[in-house]
Amino acid sequence: MANAPALDIDHVAKLARLALTPEEKAKYAQQLGDVLHHIAQLAKVDVSGVEPTAHATPIFNVWQEDVARPGLPVADALRNAPAQRDNMVIVPKVIE
């Protein structure tokens, strides 16, 4: 894996909020290193004659007409909610 970018698996795991065992760190470091190596190989491809594009095939406007329709009844929308109050889904606080 020559010329591959440096990889700090501890930093990547921290960003992903993952607690990895030493074995997992070794395994994922190898896998991520392989991916970065392939990306580095792609960077060497000469694309000077290729026009930039966002899609491989032409895209046309596929939006439906914006027509007001009745929404999902509240009872149906909340049927599988783990917790609810005042016609709202209750979720755990995510702000630290």
pTM value is 0.44
CA distance 26 to 38: 19
**How do residues 63-91 score in pLDDT, each as one tens digit?**
888 899 999 999 999 999 999 999 999 99
DSSP code at position 72? -
Tokens linked to 56: 């491989």
Q: 88 or 53, which is more confident? A: 88
CA distance 55 to 83: 41
The alpha-carbon radius of gyration of the chain (Å, integer) is 24
Backbone φ and ψ of 85, nearest 5°: -155, 135
Mean pLDDT of 56-64: 81
Secondary structure class of 85 (helix, strand, coil): strand
**How do residues 6-47 score in pLDDT, each as one tens digit?**
678 899 899 999 999 999 999 998 998 899 899 999 989 998
Tokens linked to 73: 């009844």
Q: State the pLDDT at residue 2.
A: 46
